[in-house]
Chain A
Amino acid sequence: MQRFHATICVLAALMVCLAAPVHAVTTEGVAEVSAIVPTSDVLPENLLRLYVHFSQPMRRGQVRKAITLLGENGEQIVNPFLNLAIELWDHDERRLTLLFDPGRIKRGVGPNVQVGAPLQRNKNYTLMISQSMKDYRGKPLARAFTKSFTATAPIRSALLPEKWLSGLPTAKSQEPLILTFARIMDRPMLYRSIRVLDADGQVVTGSMMILENETRWEFVPSSPWQAGPYRLAVSTDLEDVAGNNVRAPFDVAEDETMRHGKSAGRVVVPFILKH
């Protein structure tokens, strides 16, 4: 029991850390955009959210003016994001979540039918973060920041964890356990939603890596693997970049299998390691 709690404490701390910006954060100097996630420049047309990481805490209330999405001819895409009165910043106000207007992505909803999805496949887009965006001290960014990407076919299916195992390590080694997703996953959720359990059901400690533009997950245990059964535990709330989760696609079509289950549960994928 004691071991269990110790593990949890470490994990809880780890998760907060891993939710931090992808690149190093400085506390001094002029603020800049340090990363935009997902990192790929090819993204599904039903992309649900982007994360913009800043090197400094930022001021709230600037998103609508300072962040724009441009089409391939430089035209501004009108109202692509959900304009909530409350902006979606993380605890330290360094990471902004830009949620595409779900009413425009959900098939059959009024906004989707009338004006269509914000992104169209095979078209190019540029997300622009204006230099005028101010950090918490009122100083503008060091420079404007852009991310260009191409929209590609939508992803409209639930996640299937049972298909992710793509490389099993051998027992007594510290080779990585490899998962490949065949789609771009939500990076912060990926860090906190997958655990490896040993034969006793305890969480295996180690380090995880998110690779190849959030399409691959590797886990290296802090002690060598043992021969025998392990389990992969995946939160049912884990999502890909289009909001599809383990329980259901983002919008479930009537001919698709409903596998709702309970929120905040888990699915388990057993595997056996051999010498």
Chain B
Amino acid sequence: MRTRTRHPLLLAAATVLALQILPVSSGVAETAAEAKPASVTSKLQSAGALSFGPNNVLFVGDSKAGVVHAFDLGEGGVTSQAEVPLGNSASFEGRDLVSDIGTKTARLLGVDVDDIRINDMAVHKPSKQVFLSVHRGHGPNTVPVIVKVNKGQLEIVRLKDVKHSSISVGPVPVNEQLEFGQPQNLLAITDIDYWEGEIFVSGVSNEEFASKLRRMAYPFETKVSTTSIEIWHAVHAQFETRAPIVAKEIRKIHGTPTLIAVYACTPLVRIPLDQLQDGVQVRGEMIGELGFGNTPIDIISYKNAMDGKDYVLVTNTNRSAVQVGLVDIGGAQAMPVNVPNNFGPAGVTQFPIPLAGALHLDLLDGQWAVVIRPNHEDHARLDLHTVPVPFFFDRADHIVEMNWPGYKKPS
């Protein structure tokens, strides 16, 4: 069947200008006024991936605007949570920092729980304070808000007067690209990492199968300083493909700063940072497969106080989390290229961790991590809960003899 769709240029342009300007400006501004969360700032069009940089700088991925924001929260922007009990490490029991956090966030923002969405969570490590990126409302009524947890209470982070800078994650504006005028908001920002004066931003495009990793100096420079690295994936020396990164972590391995990344097609790869140069095509060295039917959510790194070794932990949508030793990552051979079948999980040694269902995860300190997860008895309810490191296992979640009334410790 022959179908025709005609787009007269000038008419289209006029229509677009109307369509583009109205929904964005009126939607955000009006709803912000109605909602009265005073912190809502016109700087944010959306609030997604969160990460802390040096001092008290909070990076916020804004996929809708196509930028990464840096908010310098200053001394007064964070509050030490050192006195907040995190659980009983002797008995491997965590506790809720905020139970039913969805409902409480909704109440804070003046809406029903169905009308908020917690997009990401990051911990400001020096203070152990938890920050959340939240959307209030839907569609054109969406208002992005940053919320923090202060001694069990939720507070809106007031960003209006905070020192702010931002940088585009769109295409580097060279003439060739202007010709095609790629819109900047195609990229869904999946992860931001700060490392020694730079941020590394990954994302997945909602159009082309882009595999660009952005590397940018922070503080952001006025000139265009985006470095764009194309990530490829060699598969058994037979094929190679573009490979978007979903989650990543930067750690030193044998003294070499290394990007440990998970591709959308599930391989775990390592890439020395010094290979990530502008305009190059980088092939991540595949050292593990995380298995099919599964998409990674996040990757964090930590030191295991019990054996003194460093690890990364990858959380997944459909599989339990896995722990991988940094030593193993550094020492792993690239996966064999002459093996026809490669059943995941495979490659570098992976140790399963019982964190299925965790929607967001970050470390509080060397002994505790914090997760947002469905309540065990009421799955519709979300709790902000601590779990002890390195097992990420909360004994209180499970039916064990020690939890029974009247239990007496064997003498």
Contact = CB atoms under 8 A, between A and B. Distances in A.
B9 A222 contact: yes
Contact of B181 (A12, A97, A243): A12
Contact of A188 (B1, B16, B207): B207
A254 B265 contact: no
A176 to B, nearest CB: 11
A144 interface: no
B266 interface: yes
B279 interface: yes
B344 A108 contact: no
Interface stretch (B70-78, B235-243, B400-408): B235-243
A101 B138 contact: no
A12 B13 CA distance: 8
A149 to B, nearest CB: 14
Contacts of A233: 179-180
A245 interface: yes
A85 B64 contact: no
A199 interface: no
Interface string B201-224: 000111111101000000000000
Interface string B178-192: 111111010011100
A45 interface: no
A114 B12 contact: no
Contact of B295 (A16, A39, A48, A83): A83
Interface stretch (B17-25, B322-330, B382-390): B17-25
A14 B235 contact: no
A233 to B, nearest CB: 6
A262 interface: yes
A113 B188 CA distance: 28
B51 to A, nearest CB: 15
B343 A107 contact: no
A254 B237 contact: yes
A264 B176 contact: yes
A57 B140 contact: yes
A91 interface: yes
A33 B318 CA distance: 28
Interface residues on B, range: 35 or more
Contacts of B294: 83
Q: Residue among A60, A205, A213 with the most chain B CB within 10 A?
A: A60
A79 to B, nearest CB: 4
A175 interface: no
Interface in B300-349: 317-318, 340-344, 346
Nearest to B189: A86
B15 interface: yes
Interface string A55-90: 011111100000000000000001100111111111
A251 B235 contact: yes
Interface in A136-153: 136-138
Interface residues on A, range: 35 or more
A212 B190 contact: no
A209 interface: yes
Contact of A106 (B119, B139, B188, B241): B241
B2 interface: yes
B335 to A, nearest CB: 10
A236 B16 CA distance: 26
A195 interface: yes
A32 interface: no
Interface string B240-256: 11101010000000000
Contacts of A11: 181
A218 to B, nearest CB: 9
Interface string A15-38: 111111010000000000000000
A111 B265 contact: yes
A115 B266 CA distance: 14
A189 B208 contact: yes
B6 interface: yes
Contact of A92 (B140, B180, B246, B318): B140
Contacts of B16: 13-14, 16-17
A82 B205 CA distance: 13
Nearest to A97: B206
A110 interface: yes
Contacts of A95: 206
Contacts of A8: 178-179, 181
Given A17-B15, A60-B117, A84 B204 contact: yes
Contacts of A222: 9-10
Interface in B11-49: 12-13, 15-17, 19-20, 23-24, 48
Given A86-B188, A137-B139, A188-B207, 20 more contacts: A16-B16, A17-B19, A18-B7, A57-B139, A79-B293, A83-B295, A86-B48, A86-B119, A88-B205, A93-B140, A102-B241, A103-B266, A106-B235, A107-B239, A138-B114, A193-B180, A245-B208, A250-B242, A252-B239, A264-B171
24 contacts: A8-B179, A10-B10, A16-B16, A17-B12, A83-B295, A83-B318, A86-B63, A86-B204, A88-B188, A90-B206, A91-B64, A97-B206, A101-B265, A103-B266, A108-B236, A110-B289, A110-B346, A111-B265, A111-B291, A111-B292, A113-B340, A115-B292, A253-B239, A254-B239
